[in-house]
Structure 1
Amino acid sequence: MNRRELLASAAAVAVLPAAHAATPAEQANSLYATVVDEMMEQYPEFATSLGLDSGAKAYLRSRFSDRSLEGRKRRKEFNAGFLTRLEKIDRKALAGLDATNYDAIAYGVRQDVAIDQRFRYGDSTNPYTVYQLGGAYQQGPDFLDSQHPVESKDDADAYLARLDGFARILDQESDVVRHDAGLGVIPPDFAIASALKQMKALRAYAPDKSVLAHSLVRRTGEKHIEGDWGAKATAIVGGKVYPALDRQIALMEDLAKKSTHDAGVWKLPDGDAFYAMALENQTTTKMSPAEVHKIGLEIVAECTAASDAIMKAGGLTKGSVGERLRAMFLDPKFRYANTDEAKEKLIADLNLKLAEVTKLLPQYFRTLPKAGVQIKRVPKYIESGAPGGYYQNATLDGKRPGTYYINLRDTAEVPSWTLPTLTFHEAIPGHHFQISIAQETNLPLLRRIGGYNAYVEGWALYAEQLAVEMGLYQNDPWGHVGQLHDAMLRGVRLVVDSGLHAMKWTREQAIKYYADTLGDPESGAVSEVERYCVWPGQACGYMVGKRFILAERDRARNALGQRFDLKTFHDAVLKSGALPLDELKRVIDGMIAG
C-alpha cells in the first residue's frame, strides 16, 4: 500500500467534472488529502513510520525533516496557511461525520497557530529542542534501526543517505538550541546532564561498532543484499555523524554551565502563559493548574484507600500505603533478575499476558485491530533517559506491527505486579488497540494519523480499568494493586505537573512526593519527574481523559438503560478516531440518539 493508493478516493474528489461544484464536504476531504501530502513532504520520517514512502514517493525514504530555524519558521507558516484554507470551507454546511472530522482537525490547527504566534521558542508545547527525551541524537538511531526498512539495495542506499542527513540535522538542532538559549530558554541542568549521558553512550563505540553502522550491516546480511555496507556506513559515522555529535556534546556542556536547577517552565519567557496553553493543548480542556492539582490529590486519596484494602486482605498491614508499595518493590519474589536472560523471560511472560487478554476481547469489543503487536526492550543506548514504556504505531498496511517498548534498564523498577497493567496500557486493549483501529478506519487519512493526548492516553488508562472489569485480576490481587498503583501514579502526575510548572515546586520536592506516595525506586521517580519537567502538561492528559471516557460511559448507560451495549460504546469511541474531549461528547450524544 502506498500513499497514492490511500489517497486515491480523496484525489478523485479533486478531479470533479466541471459542471459539478464541489460541496463543502468534498472541499474538506480534498483539503485533508492535500495537507497529508504536504505533511509527508515536510516530515519524511512520519511517512516512513506509516509505510507511505513507497512507489512514486520512495524518495522520501532517503530524507529527514528540516530541523533548522528556517524549517521551524516554514512549519509555522504551514500551520497558519492550513488554518486559512480550512476556514474558507462553510462549516455550517457540514453534518454528521463530516462535521466531526472538520471540528477535530480545526481544534488542533487553531491551537498550533495560537502557540506559534505567541512563542518564539520550542516546538508546539515542547519548550526544548535537545534534552533527555528529545532531539535527533535520541530519536534518530532507533528510527533508523526499527522503522527505516531494509528490504532491498535501494532501501540500503536510502539508509546511507539518511545516515548522512543525520549528521546534518544534529547540526541544525544545535543551531536552534543556540537561538533559543539566546532567548533565555535552556533546559534544566539535570535534563542536560541526562542528555549528555545518552549522547556519550551513543558516541562511546568505534564507528564500525556503532548501532548506526551495525543496523545496516545486520539487516543487509539478513536479506542477502550484496555490497560493502559496513565500510560505507562506518565512513559516514566516523567522518560526519560523530563530528556533529561531538559539536553538540560540546554545546550542551557549555549550556550546562549556564543552566539553572529550576524545574518548571514558569522560568521561561512568558512561562505562565506557556504552561496554560500546554495544559489546554494536552487535556483539550480549560482546566486551571489549581483544578488539576485538586483532582490529582483526590485521585491519590481514592487509590490509596482501595490499595490499602487489598493489601490488608493479603496480610500486608504495616506502614503507609507508600511504604508498603516500596516493600513490594523490594520483595525478591516479585523481581526478575537484572540479567539479559531474565529480561528475555520477562518479555516472554508479557507475551503470555497479551495472549490471555486477547482471548477475552470479543466479549467486550465488536471491532478488533488487524495489525499485530510485538514487545521489545527500549534500546540500551537511550534507556537511561527513556520512560518506563511506550508504543510505536504499526504501518498503515500492517506489514510492520505495532511495538510496545518496555524499559528494562533495571528490573527493580518493573516488578512482576506492575507488568500486567503496563502491558494492557501500551498494547491491548490500550494504545495498540486504539491507534490501530483508528488507522484501519475509513476516516480521512489526516484523522487516522492524528491524535489528541487526552483522548489517546485517556483511552489507554481506561483500558487499564477495563482490564479489572474483564476479570484479569480476579486471581491476581497483587496485580490489582499494580493497577491501582498506576492509577494513583496518574493522580500524582496531576499534582506534580501543576506543582512544578505553576507552583514552583523544586525537582527534589516533586521526587519526594512521588516516591513517598507511590513507593517507587528513586531511579524510576527521578526519570518520571524529569519527564514532566520537559513535557509540561503532557502527563495531565491521562487521568483527565480516562475520567471523561468513564463519565461518558456512565452517561450513555443511564440514558439508554437496558439498551446500553458496551461494544457499541467502544465502537463509538474508537471508530471516531482521536478527538478533543468535547467533540467526543458530541459523538456519544449521537450514539445515544441513534
Structure 2
Amino acid sequence: MTASKRLITTLATISVVAACTAPTSSTSSPEITTAPPTIAEEDFDSFVEESFRTIVERQPELVTELGLDKAYGTRPARLDDLSPAYLDETAGVIARTLAGLEAYSFAELSDDQQLTYLSYQWHLEQMVDAHRYRLHDWPVHFLLNSYNQGVILLLTLIHPLNSSSDADDFLKRLEALPEQVNQVVSWMEDSEIAGVLPPRYVVEITIQQLRGDIAAGDAASTELLRSFEARLSQSGLSPDDLDDHVERAGEAIEAHFIPSWRNLIEHLEGLLDSTDDSVSLSRLPDGDGYYAHLLALHTSTELTAVEIHQMGQTEAERIKAEMRALATAAGLPATEINAIRAAFADLGGLVDGDAIVSTYEELIEDAEERFSPYFDLIPDIPLEVRVDDGPTAFYVGPAVDGSRPGVFYAATGRGAVRGHTMASLAYHEAIPGHHFQISLAQELDIPSPRRYLTSTGHVEGWALYAERLAEEIGVYEGNPAGSFGRLDFELLRAARLVVDTGIHHLGWSRSEALEQMTEIMEGDHFNHEVDRYVLYPAQATAYLVGMNEILRLRDLAGAVVTDLDSMARFHRAVIGQGNIPLGVLGETIPTAAG
C-alpha cells in the first residue's frame, strides 16, 4: 500500500489525483498571477510542464510531499486551502488545462509526447469528475484517506525538520490549522445538506481517535510533540536551540492543534443523533454514479461493478485450489483453508523486536539480487525500513530533492509479524514493488505528469504483480510457508473485489460484508478490512484488477519468464516510461515491449 495507513493516495504514492479526490488546496490562498499557458503561447512540452506546476502550486502540502519546495522556490509553511471558492477555482484551472491539452493536434506529436498526452488527459479528466463529487467524499474519519490522518502524516513524517527554518515553518503550519479545520467543518456541513452522512459507528470511532490524538489535552502528552522533538534532534541544532523550538512547538500545539481537534470532535458529536449505520454509497444521492467514478479512477479500466464482482468470485476459487495443492505438496492435509493457514503460519513462526527490521532488510537485499536479471532499469534512490505500530504496512515515497528516502513502514500492530507473510510484503512494498516503481519514475527524464501523477491500478497492480513474479521466478523455492503467504494475500485481494462491490453496488450492510469476507477467506477478524472498503470505496479493487491487466499485457507482448530479455523489455514498458494509467498502457505495450 502506498502513502500510508493515514493518507493513501493515494494512495500514494502521493498524486495530484489523490489531492483533488480528497479536495485539497491552500489556507492562505496565493494570488493567481498566471493562468495555465495556452497552445498559442507554448510548445507542447512547455505547456505540460507549466500547466502541471500551476496545478501543483495551488496545493502547498502536495509540494512538500513531493519534495518540490526548493525547485519551486517556496517554503513548506502553508496548509492547503479547503474553502469551496478556492476548490472551485482550482477545478476551473484543471478544466482549462484539459481544454488546452486537447487543443494540440495529437497526430502531430511524437510517440513519447502522445504517451504524455494520453496519460495527462486521463488524470485531468479524473480530477474534473472528482470535483463534481466533492461533497460525497466525507473528510473526517479513522482510516487511510481521512483529512485528519493526513494532517498527522504531514506533521509527523512529511514536513522536513532539518533546520531552524524548517521548525519555524512547522509552527506556521500549526498556526494555520484552526482556519483549515473551520473549512473542513464547513465542508462537512455542506455534505450534510447534500444528504451525505457517515455511518454512526464511523463517527463514534473517529471521535475516540481524535481524542487519542490530543491525549491528555496538553502538548507533552501528544505524539505530535514527541515526533517533532525526535526528528528535530537529528538536525544538528544546539541543545539550547532545540529546547527553544520544542517549547515553542508545545505552545503552538496547545494553542492551535488541540483546539482544532476539539472543534472536529464537537462537530462529530453533534452528528450522532442524525446518522445511522448504513454503509453503502448506493444510499447517497447519485451514489451509483459516484461509485462508478471511483471504480474508473482506481482501476483505470472500464470494468463495471458486476464484472469486478464476478472476477473476485472466480479468482477466489482459483486461489483456494492453489492453496490446497500447495498444502498437499508440503505434506499437509488439504482440508479447510483456515486450517491450512494455521499450519503454514506455525511453520513460518513469529518475528518480533529488532529482528523485524533486520529480516525485512535481508529479504530486500536478497530481492535486489534475485530480481535484477529481469530488469534493465534499476533505481538508485535509497530505501529505509522502519516500524509502525499500526495494523497495515505501507510505503512513503522519496522526496524529489533527496531530503527524504523511500521508506517501507512495517506494521507491528500486534507486537510481532508472522514470518510467512514477510517476503511478499517486502516484494510488494519495496523491491520490485512500490519503491522500485516510484523511485524509478522520479529518476527518469520524463515529463512531470508521468513522474508524479499515479493511478492506483498501475501502482497497486504492479506491486501485486511483483509478488506473483517472485513465485514465477522461483524465489519461494524451499519456502512453502512464504508461498502460502503470497496466496493468502492474493485471496484477500480477490475477496476485496467481491465485498467492495457488494457493499457499494449491491447495497450490503456492514454485517453482510463481514459475513461474506469470512466465507471467502474462511477465517475471521476482518473488521478493519471491511471498514477500509466503507471509507475508501473502490481503492481496494485496484490490486487484483491491476495485476490481471498487467499479466494480460505481458501475454500480449509475448514476454515469458524463461526469456530474460523479453521480461526486461516488458518491465521497461510497464514502469520504465513513468506512471501510466492501465488503459493508456494497454495502447502502448505492443510497441513499447515489442
Normalising by structure 1, we get a TM-score of 0.87
2: CA distance, partners of 1:558 / 1:215: 47
What pairs with 1:356-435 in structure 2 (closer than 5 Å)? 356-378=366-388, 380=389, 383=390, 388-411=392-415, 414-435=417-438
SS in 1 for 2:272: helix
Per-residue deviation, residues 265-310 of structure 1 (Å, max 9, x unmatched):
1111111111111111211222111111111011100100000111
Alignment counterpart, residue 444 of structure 2, candidates 441, 444, 448: 441
Conserved in 2, the CA contact under 8 Å of 1:104 and 1:580? Answer: yes
Structure 1 position 26, deviation (Å): 6.3
Distance 1:163 1:120, change over 3 A: closer
Q: Which moved more, 1:296-305 or 1:583-592?
A: 583-592
1:191 paired residue number = 202
1:69 paired residue number = 84
1:238 paired residue number = 254
Conserved in 2, the CA contact under 8 Å of 1:156 and 1:220? Answer: yes
SS in 1 for 2:171: helix
Per-residue deviation, residues 475-497 of structure 1 (Å, max 9, x unmatched):
11011001111111111111011
Structure 1 position 411, deviation (Å): 4.4
Distance 1:110 1:58, change over 3 A: closer
Structure 1 position 23, deviation (Å): 9.1
SS in 2 for 1:376: strand
Structure 2, unmatched stretches of 5+, are 1-37
Distance 1:343 1:515, change over 3 A: farther
Conserved in 1, the CA contact under 8 Å of 2:309 and 2:498? Answer: yes
Alignment counterpart, residue 217 of structure 1, candidates 203, 209, 229: 229
Per-residue deviation, residues 18-53 of structure 1 (Å, max 9, x unmatched):
xxxx99996222122112322332211221122211
Conserved in 2, the CA contact under 8 Å of 1:373 and 1:404? Answer: yes
Distance 1:219 1:275, change over 3 A: closer
SS in 2 for 1:406: strand
1:109 paired residue number = 124
Alignment counterpart, residue 285 of structure 1, candidates 294, 301, 318: 301
Conserved in 2, the CA contact under 8 Å of 1:326 and 1:521? Answer: no
Distance 1:521 1:407, change over 3 A: farther
Matched, 1:470 2:469: no
Structure 1 position 506, deviation (Å): 1.6
What pairs with 1:255-274 in structure 2 (closer than 5 Å)? 255-274=271-290
Distance 1:545 1:157, change over 3 A: same
What pairs with 1:517-556 in structure 2 (closer than 5 Å)? 517-519=520-522, 521-522=524-525, 525-556=526-557
Per-residue deviation, residues 525-549 of structure 1 (Å, max 9, x unmatched):
1111111112221111111111111
Matched, 1:85 2:88: no
2:183 paired residue number = 172
Distance 1:102 1:320, change over 3 A: same
Structure 1 position 209, deviation (Å): 3.3
Structure 1 segments of 4+ aligned residues over 4 angstroms from their partners: 22-26, 326-329, 558-564
Count of matched residue pairs: 551
AA at the equivalent of 1:163: L
2: CA distance, partners of 1:333 / 1:592: 38
Matched, 1:302 2:313: no
2:15 paired residue number = none
SS in 2 for 1:405: strand
Alignment counterpart, residue 460 of structure 2, candidates 457, 460, 463: 457
SS in 1 for 2:141: coil
1: CA distance, partners of 2:543 / 2:371: 23
2: CA distance, partners of 1:570 / 1:216: 40
Structure 1 position 230, deviation (Å): 1.9
Conserved in 2, the CA contact under 8 Å of 1:556 and 1:588? Answer: yes
Distance 1:26 1:145, change over 3 A: same
SS in 1 for 2:124: helix
2: CA distance, partners of 1:275 / 1:264: 10
Q: In percent, how many aligned pairs have the same letter?
A: 29
Per-residue deviation, residues 317-354 of structure 1 (Å, max 9, x unmatched):
2642134325655x496234xxxxx3432222111111
1: CA distance, partners of 2:563 / 2:358: 41
Q: Which moved more, 1:217-226 or 1:350-359?
A: 217-226
1: CA distance, partners of 2:200 / 2:419: 33
1:488 paired residue number = 491
Alignment counterpart, residue 336 of structure 2, candidates 320, 339, 357: 320
In proportion to residue count, which structure has more helix?
1
Q: Which moved more, 1:402-411 or 1:94-103?
A: 402-411
Conserved in 2, the CA contact under 8 Å of 1:322 and 1:516? Answer: no
Structure 1 position 516, deviation (Å): 3.6
2:171 paired residue number = 160
2: CA distance, partners of 1:469 / 1:560: 7
Distance 1:249 1:344, change over 3 A: farther
SS in 2 for 1:451: coil
Distance 1:26 1:35, change over 3 A: closer
Structure 1, unmatched stretches of 5+, are 1-21, 337-341
1:14 paired residue number = none
SS in 2 for 1:304: helix
Distance 1:477 1:36, change over 3 A: same
1: CA distance, partners of 2:355 / 2:437: 27
1:15 paired residue number = none
Q: Which moved more, 1:229-238 or 1:316-325?
A: 316-325
2: CA distance, partners of 1:285 / 1:517: 25
2: CA distance, partners of 1:404 / 1:120: 31
Conserved in 2, the CA contact under 8 Å of 1:214 and 1:230? Answer: no
1: CA distance, partners of 2:518 / 2:561: 43
1:7 paired residue number = none
Structure 1 position 424, deviation (Å): 0.8
Conserved in 1, the CA contact under 8 Å of 2:199 and 2:279? Answer: yes
Structure 1 position 563, deviation (Å): 9.8
Distance 1:23 1:563, change over 3 A: farther
AA at the equivalent of 2:298: Q
1: CA distance, partners of 2:179 / 2:202: 23
1: CA distance, partners of 2:252 / 2:497: 45
Conserved in 2, the CA contact under 8 Å of 1:296 and 1:495? Answer: yes
Distance 1:442 1:516, change over 3 A: same
SS in 2 for 1:185: coil
2: CA distance, partners of 1:559 / 1:182: 55
1:584 paired residue number = 585
1:146 paired residue number = 157
Per-residue deviation, residues 487-528 of structure 1 (Å, max 9, x unmatched):
111111110111010111121222222234325551xx1111
Conserved in 2, the CA contact under 8 Å of 1:425 and 1:464? Answer: yes
Structure 1 position 433, deviation (Å): 0.6
SS in 1 for 2:197: coil
Q: Which moved more, 1:161-170 or 1:483-492?
A: 161-170
Alignment counterpart, residue 135 of structure 2, candidates 105, 114, 121: 121
Structure 1 position 455, deviation (Å): 0.9
1: CA distance, partners of 2:411 / 2:279: 24
2: CA distance, partners of 1:155 / 1:483: 42
Q: Which moved more, 1:217-226 or 1:557-566?
A: 557-566
SS in 2 for 1:62: coil
Structure 1 position 592, deviation (Å): 4.8
